[in-house]
Amino acid sequence: MTHPSSQGRAPRGRAAGGGSRKGLPGSRHGGPHGGPHGGPRAGASASGSSGPLGIIVLDKDAGLPSNRVLGQVKRLLGVTKMGFLGTLDPLASGVLPVFVGRATRLIPLFEGLAKTYRVTMKLGERTATFDAEGAVTERRPLGDLTPERVRAAILAKAGRQRQTVPAYSAVKVGGVPAYKLARQGAAVPERVREVELWDLAVESVELPFATFCVTCTAGTYVRSLVEELGLALGPGAHVTALRRLACGRLFTLEDSVTLDGIGEAWKAGRQEHLRNPAAFLPEHAPLRVTPETELHLRDGRTVLLESPAPGTIPLAAPGGAIAPVSGDAAGSVSGGEPGRAEWVAGQAVKALRSDGSLIAVGVVTAELPGAPPGRLGFRPNRVI
C-alpha cells in the first residue's frame, strides 16, 4: 500500500479482526464417519476438491458493481464457486479480494478486517447517493470556506463515532436491499452503526475538491463520511472518486492484479495471481501433516498434537476411536521453528501439506474426551 505524503495527519486507532466438536469415546470400532479402527472413510480425497483454489487480490476498475466483476472472473477461470471480501461501489476501484473454489469457506475469517481508502470529494453539491453516481439534490456556494478549515474538519473525524447507513446501500430491509427500495421512492428506515476512523491523512485541498486517505473498521461507509463532512463544513459534499488501497495488512494494491492481467495470465497457462490462502494467515501456527492424516482431517477428526511415540499421530474420531497413523504433527509450528511443539489451548492453527498448500484451519483444544489426560489436539473447523 502506498503511503501518501500528507499535509495533515490524525492519530492512529486500533483495528479488530475468529466450534467445538464432541470427541473421543474409547471404542476401537470407528464412528459413523470412519472406517474400521477409526480410519478415513472410503473414497475420501486427499486434495478434497478439483479445479482452481486460492485467493486473488483483484484491482477492481471503477464503473462496475462488484458482483459483475466477480462474474467476469468466473468466466475467465471457468469456475462457478467464488466470493469476494468487502463490496466496492460501482464508482470505486481498488483492492477486492476474490476467493476461488473451496477457499470461499475462509471468507468469514477475514470479514472483520479494516479497510484503507483514498477518497476525493467535491464540496458545494449533495447527491441522493452521496457520490457522483446519484442525482444532485442540492447546490450551495462555498462562501468563505478555506482549505485550512477543510483539512481541520477531515482530521477531526478520527475516532469512534456513530454513522448513518446510506439509503442507497446493500443493507437489507425485510430481505430487500435498501438501494432497491430507495430507487422505487419507498421510505428506507434509518440505520445507525458504530464505526472507527484512524490514519486520516489529507493529500490535497483544491476547492471545491479535497483528497484524503482514511483507514476504518469494516462496515464503514466512506460516502456517509463525506456527506457528514459536507454538512459540517456548510456547503455539502459528495464522493467523486474512491480507491481502496488495502484490506487489513495483507491484501494490498502492491500485490494486486487487474482483470486484464488475470485474463492474459490464464490464457498463457500461468496462475501466479491465484495465491495459497495460507499466505494470508500469518497468525495461524503451521502444522504439516501427511496425506493419510489429511484424510482424517477431512473426516472432521481431531489430531492429537503430543505423540505417545515418535512418528505417530493419534487421531480422534467423533463418536469413534483413537487411531495412530504416521506423520509429522510436531514439525514446524509457531514462528516456523522446526521441532518446536509448544502448543497452547485456543491457539489458531493452519494444517498444511508438505508443499505448504492449505488443508484446513482450526484451533488447539484440550477438550478431548477419551484421550489421555493433559493431551492437546488440533480441531479443524474449516476444511478446504
CA angle, residues 299, 303, 304, in degrees to nearest 5: 155
End-to-end Cα separation, the chain, in angstroms: 29
Side chain identity at residue 98, one-letter code: V
pLDDT at residue 50, rounded to an integer: 64
pLDDT at residue 232, rounded to an integer: 97
Residue with more model confidence, 329 or 96? 96
Longest CA–CA span in the chain (Å) reads: 83
List of residues 6+ apart from 264 with CB closer than 8 A: none
In contact, 379 and 371? CB cutoff 8 Å: no
Q: Is residue 10 part of a domain?
A: no
Q: What is the CATH number of the domain that holds 265?
A: 3.30.2350.10
Instruction: Look up the pTM and report it.
Output: 0.79
The answer to whether residues 296 and 352 belong to one domain is: yes
Domain boundary (232, 247, 262) is at: 247
pLDDT at residue 306, rounded to an integer: 56
Span 54-89, pLDDT tens digits: 999 999 999 999 999 999 999 999 999 999 999 999
The answer to whether residues 256 and 307 belong to one domain is: no
pLDDT at residue 25, rounded to an integer: 25
Pairing of strands 348-352, 285-288: parallel
**Cβ neighbours of 23 (radius 10 Å):** 23
Q: Is 266 helix (H, G, I), strand (E, B) or coil?
A: helix
Q: Is residue 29 part of a domain?
A: no
DSSP state of 359: E
The answer to whether residues 291 and 360 belong to one domain is: yes
Q: Is residue 365 part of a domain?
A: yes
pLDDT at residue 180, rounded to an integer: 79
H-run or E-run covering 306: none
Mean pLDDT within 239-258: 97
Query: Can 199 be counted among the known catalytic residues?
Result: no
Span 170-207, pLDDT tens digits: 777 777 777 777 787 777 777 889 999 999 999 999 99
The Cα–Cα gap between 258 and 253 comes to 10
Average pLDDT, the chain: 80
pLDDT band at 49 (very low <50, low <70, confident <90, very high): low
Mean pLDDT within 159-178: 83
Mean pLDDT within 122-149: 96
Q: Which domain holds residue 201?
A: 115-247
The x, y and z cell numbers of residue 60, run together, are 477492481
The answer to whether residues 242 and 342 belong to one domain is: no
Question: Is there a cis peptide before residue 208, judged by omega within 30 degrees of 0?
Answer: yes
pLDDT at residue 82, rounded to an integer: 97
Domain boundary (273, 308, 338) is at: 273
Reference 255, options 110, 98, 360; nearest CA is 98
pLDDT at residue 315, rounded to an integer: 46
In contact, 100 and 52? CB cutoff 8 Å: yes
The x, y and z cell numbers of residue 365, run together, are 483444544
The answer to whether residues 264 and 169 belong to one domain is: no
In contact, 249 and 199? CB cutoff 8 Å: no
On the CB side of 48, how many CA atoms lie within 13 Å of its CA?
24
The answer to whether residues 288 and 359 belong to one domain is: yes
| CA-to-CA separations, 369 to 163, 191, 313, 344, 345, in angstroms, rounded | 47, 46, 17, 18, 15
**Cβ neighbours of 54 (radius 10 Å):** 22
Q: Is residue 28 part of a domain?
A: no
Residue with more model confidence, 170 or 39? 170
The answer to whether residues 304 and 196 belong to one domain is: no
The Cα–Cα gap between 201 and 3 comes to 9
> How many domains is the chain built from?
3
Find residue 107's DSSP bridge partners.
none
pLDDT at residue 313, rounded to an integer: 46
Domain boundary (238, 273, 308) is at: 273
pLDDT at residue 352, rounded to an integer: 95
The Cα–Cα gap between 111 and 166 comes to 20
Q: Is residue 196 part of a domain?
A: yes
The answer to whether residues 259 and 139 belong to one domain is: no
Q: Is residue 9 part of a domain?
A: no
The answer to whether residues 41 and 98 belong to one domain is: no
Q: Is residue 1 part of a domain?
A: no
The answer to whether residues 361 and 290 belong to one domain is: yes
Q: Is residue 367 part of a domain?
A: yes
Mean pLDDT within 359-379: 89
If you write DSSP's letter for every residue of 25-84 in order, what string do you get?
Answer: -S-SS--TT--GGGPPPTT--SS---S--EEEEEEEPTTS-HHHHHHHHHHHHT---EEE
Reference 72, options 266, 228, 235; nearest CA is 266
The answer to whether residues 211 and 196 belong to one domain is: yes
The answer to whether residues 146 and 240 belong to one domain is: yes
Q: Identify the active-site residue in 59, 89, 131, 299.
A: 89
The x, y and z cell numbers of residue 163, run together, are 454513522
